Amino acid sequence: MIIDCHVHLYPGDAIAAPAAWAEGRGEARWAAMVGPRAGGGASLQGWADFDGLLRDMDAAGVDRSVLLGWYWETAATCAEQNSFYAECVRRHPDRLEAFATLHAAAGVEGVRAELRRSRDEGLSGIGELCPPAQGFGYDDPALAVALELAAAWRWPVNLHVTEPAGRAYPWRVETPFLELMALAARHPDVRFIFAHLGGLLPFFELNAAVAKPLTNVSYDTAASPLLYRPEVFPLVAKAVGAERIVYGSDYPLRLYPKLQAQPEFARFLSELRGCGLAPAELAAVLGGNWARLRGGV
Ligand SMILES: [Zn+2]
């Protein structure tokens, strides 16, 4: 069973005209991130609609995808995407699950209501959030309420994490490890997923004091080919255990921009299969760990 726990999907009108769609909603950051690269290079963002996603999953043998919301800058766009994802899950509950996104600007009651609505409509987690990019603090009371609900409902929570020493790019934000560790410690009953191999936070877990508040944290592999050499997977497995790594791609991002004109799942899966993980570790990363995380074991 192959489960990709980090996939993004957008409504047709966003795909058709991303800049205009974003401008009408006050989503300048997203527009910049999916637009052409500074210096004129083609965007790393690939696009896929609902049918394209299912086609690409079939072609690569991906059984299920977890649709992650984007870290929008307004509560209204969050609600719009949550509704779109509810429709996607209704169309294919056998292949898709979806997480709700949120913005603290909705306030404690607004966030609570939006998450309840999302749950009623079939969504089953929170993320991908990135408070520093969205303009609120990791200590915002609305986020705390969201995490309390996530703990009560046994919803996983995916947070975008950047690497402190990573390259600079437009609109990059810092996601300080100390704040993430404090957040995980304040919410020990939440199953967190720190995206993008946690910006290599797993290696800091070689320090027992760092590892201690992070036992409820897993790390997804999203966008890794754009960031790290393939040896990163067995090394992270050695640092924190393969049971804490979950496969996610960041589809429809073009993870191999020189080799991929269009997004697809197969190339990254083949990188994972050849990266040096033992067969049992690989099976856990590709789906077993997600099933456990989701199932509450
Ligand atoms: Zn991310």
The 10s digit of each residue's pLDDT in 192-247 is 999 999 999 999 999 999 999 999 999 999 999 999 999 999 999 999 999 999 99
Q: How far is the CA of 176 from the centre of ligand 1 (A)?
A: 15
Structure tokens given for 224: 């890794």
Q: How far is the CA of 160 from the centre of ligand 1 (A)?
A: 4
Structurally, how many domains does the chain consist of?
Answer: 1
Band (pLDDT 50/70/90 cuts) for residue 33 is: confident
Bridge partners for 192 per DSSP: 157, 217
Question: What is the bridge-based pairing of β-strands 96-98 and 126-129?
Answer: unpaired
Q: How far is the CA of 7 from the centre of ligand 1 (A)?
A: 10
Q: How far is the CA of 103 from the centre of ligand 1 (A)?
A: 16
Predicted confidence at residue 34, as pLDDT, reads: 86
Q: How far is the CA of 100 from the centre of ligand 1 (A)?
A: 15
Encode pLDDT of 36-88 as tens digits: 776 667 788 889 999 999 999 999 999 999 999 999 999 999 999 999 999 99
Question: What are phi and psi for residue 39, nearest 5 degrees?
Answer: 95, -5
What's the whole-model pTM score? 0.96
Other Cβ atoms closer than 10 A to 207: 9
**Where in the sequence is the domain holding 8, given as residue range(s)?**
3-295
Q: How far is the CA of 195 from the centre of ligand 1 (A)?
A: 6
Query: Which CATH number does the domain housing residue 172 bear?
Result: 3.20.20.140
Q: How far is the CA of 296 from the centre of ligand 1 (A)?
A: 24
